[in-house]
Structure 1
């Protein structure tokens, strides 16, 4: 009996030690996990994949950029999840597009706790105003369609990062300068590519109204869209038929689907209008998945321009950055 009691006591003692050891290990693991998450870097949260990409280019290794949306996700209709609220509360800086591109996330961002500065990067650009009917206009949020506008966005991101981490001013400035130079080259290249399209075919018909800035900057007419600036809209049968008739009149050789929107309806429009649906989809509200031809802002713009030029009868020349 004494041996049994001794064994029990010994077992209990080991159990206590085991519990304490487990708690100690868990505590260390938690500290390490938290260290890995912050690692001394400010956390910058971006609400769109385009802004996340630009912020990463400017921030480099000096900040941790976390994008809420995955590539290919439509910001117009995205419904936030509880994890999004936690990320926003942890942020040191929140970068969002503005002009109501991401209504669900803007609402969540304004309701979330935390002391992060909230900056509408897209609003660095004066918006185009689109007719909503009944003498009402709304700002067009798709400002990145013009590469010059992306330069303004990069400048705003740079200044915000310098304010967030002043000791990294030189690195942010250098990164922004390099990116700006590439964007200037991109802007010039897109202009050259669009000019190769025959003038009477320089017309763009897309699923939703996301290319006004692109059209204005690069002299290609937006000849028609299935829906307006927000993908929340549902086109009526009458709207579809009107677009079909319009396409027949203007005589475009191809129309375009988009990566963030189900292509079924625009495919039907193409069939009824007797025109080709371009073999590649356009990136409208999001960059592409990693490894795709549009997995950064610059690559997305290059891919879109190639798709448009080749489908409308122009001559595409690859984009090469000159150092």
Structure 2
């Protein structure tokens, strides 16, 4: 009889523990499952969603969205998602193909496509430049779009998403003004930006810089020809720039070769173009990324001392 009572008590206890576990599991699963493609969109999403969402970033800091090849874990994450946030304008072509080909039922938002794009010519056709985040005003629009989508899929946390977004937007508005004042310190004839790939058109247009040329075009898949390199060297020499810039997601060897042939320096710091930095680095958020880029540009274009 005692054994029966003991076993009954044990089963009740285990049943209670199992129920507690299920409740905890349900609490976790109650949070919207959000998948972000680029590190920039992921950072904005985490700032706005906070602890009220579970966010997974497909791309790791430092990864190049133009050439990223999805892995099986990406498919699993996308299939489990309630919401998929991606840049669009073909920034992450292989991930976009995966999203469109797997019959995923999640809500989807091409955040970057909320912005009217700048165009570029590709083989005689007009294409949209995907690097919309270069202009902080564009990112304010993107932040509002993320906020609205999160409020739509999780109305019970609407006020929290709004509060977080307001705080972020205030920070972005201050950043936009700060960049303008910093770029204004560069001598007007030196406000020229030459980089590894053509990712800074929005930044340059917003903050008063000229882009005389780049080593490669919009996508890092491109390989510059000998003639392209020769032409860029001539552009650099005729433009009178003091420095040109390498980028964190691109091998710097070719841009360093161009600098040597043109007789100019490569800036000390590399620019963050398609990805924020790793956690704990100087550029581990969108805001910090734009700040360090601006400081690097201003220092290189106003400082007469060699950079390398």
What TM-score, normalized to structure 2?
0.90
The equivalent residue for 2:116 is 126
Distance 1:217 1:99 in 2: 19
Distance 2:163 2:199 in 1: 31
Aligned with residue 98 of structure 1, among 88, 93, 96: 88
Matched, 1:60 2:50: yes
Aligned with residue 47 of structure 1, among 37, 46, 55: 37
SS in 2 for 1:188: helix
The equivalent residue for 2:68 is 78
The equivalent residue for 2:287 is 298
SS in 1 for 2:30: coil
Question: By how many angstroms is 1:137 displaced?
Answer: 1.3
Give the alignment of 1:1-323 within 5 angstroms: 35=25, 38-134=28-124, 136-313=125-302
SS in 1 for 2:228: helix
Question: By how many angstroms is 1:39 displaced?
Answer: 4.2
Structure 2, unpaired ranges of 5+: 1-13, 304-308
Distance 1:198 1:35 in 2: 59
Distance 2:26 2:213 in 1: 49
SS in 2 for 1:222: coil
SS in 2 for 1:44: strand
Distance 1:219 1:205 in 2: 14
Whether the 8 Å contact between 1:42 and 1:92 is mirrored in structure 2 is yes
Deviations 1:239-293 (A, max 9, x none): 0111011101101000000001111100100111110100100000000011111
Question: By how many angstroms is 1:112 displaced?
Answer: 2.3
Question: By how many angstroms is 1:37 displaced?
Answer: 9.6
Distance 1:46 1:111 in 2: 17
SS in 2 for 1:221: coil
SS in 2 for 1:203: coil
Distance 1:38 1:269 in 2: 52
**Number of residue pairs matched?**
289
Which aligned runs of 4 or more in structure 1 are off by greater than 3 angstroms?
Answer: 36-39
The equivalent residue for 1:8 is none
Whether the 8 Å contact between 1:58 and 1:158 is mirrored in structure 2 is yes
What TM-score, normalized to structure 1?
0.86
Distance 2:104 2:95 in 1: 15
Structure 1, unpaired ranges of 5+: 1-23, 315-323
Question: By how many angstroms is 1:133 displaced?
Answer: 4.0
SS in 1 for 2:280: coil
